[in-house]
Amino acid sequence: MPDVPVLEEKIRPFVEEALHKFLGVRVTELESELSDKIKRTSLWEWLVDTSLPYREAKRNFRRGYVSWLLQTRFGNIAAVSRLLGVNRRTGHRLVRSLRIPIAGFREVLHGEQYVRTEAVKDAIQGVLDQYKNVLHPEKIKALYEHVPLMSKSLARELPEQPISLKDAEFEFERKYFVAVVSGCKGNLSLAALRARIRYETLHRKLKKLGLNSLK
């Protein structure tokens, strides 16, 4: 996974330079919001939904992660299975159990860079939409026109290395439970209710994930 400080070091200066070029002035709030939003286009941010109960969130994560791999490997289940660390038969069974429409990925041949660029573009446009009534119309128009180029350049700074399904699920659980417990201000009873798992199960999960400091 990309390291957050590294992303900050690469993305923030690029965003500042691009905004200054088209706006002519520094808008610190816009720069910060845009930088943060772009960093959150990381695969691990948009696939971990802490608003859902644990089991539903984990299933959605598995579906999203496998779908992402299929999309970036043009629907090649054999190639995806190797990345997931499973044999091809297990890979086919996983795709069927998650009800992923494999035909669609084979029809739309979008590579990994395209997928990442589109995610960055959506993030940039989402932030600009919030400022279009605040900034000068001509300046915001110029920004919108250059979103595709900005997105393509920024996407190159957001590497995502595919990992095995086992390792991916481990990362999912760490992020999920850190967010849930933190959101409940360390109250494990409340966190267990929110995740819809037993209190004892949450304790075991935190220990297994090396998150004892959250207890």
Tens digits of per-residue pLDDT, 37-49?
Answer: 666 555 556 678 8
Specify which of 2-6, 16-20, 191-195 reaches the highest per-range mean pLDDT: 191-195
- The CA distance from 133 to 110, in Å, is 34
Contacts of 66 (CB under 8 A, 6+ apart): 80, 84, 94, 95, 98, 100, 165
Q: Name the pLDDT band for 6 (thresholds 50, 70, 90).
A: very low
The per-residue pLDDT for 163 is: 84
- The CA distance from 38 to 192, in Å, is 31
pTM above 0.85, yes or no: no
What is the share, in percent, of the chain residues with pLDDT greater than 90? 36
The single-letter DSSP state of residue 20 is H
Q: Per-residue pLDDT tens for 56-100? A: 999 999 998 898 888 778 788 999 999 999 999 999 999 999 998
For 96, counting Cβ atoms within 10 Å of its Cβ (0-12 exposed, 13-18 middle, 19+ buried), the class is exposed
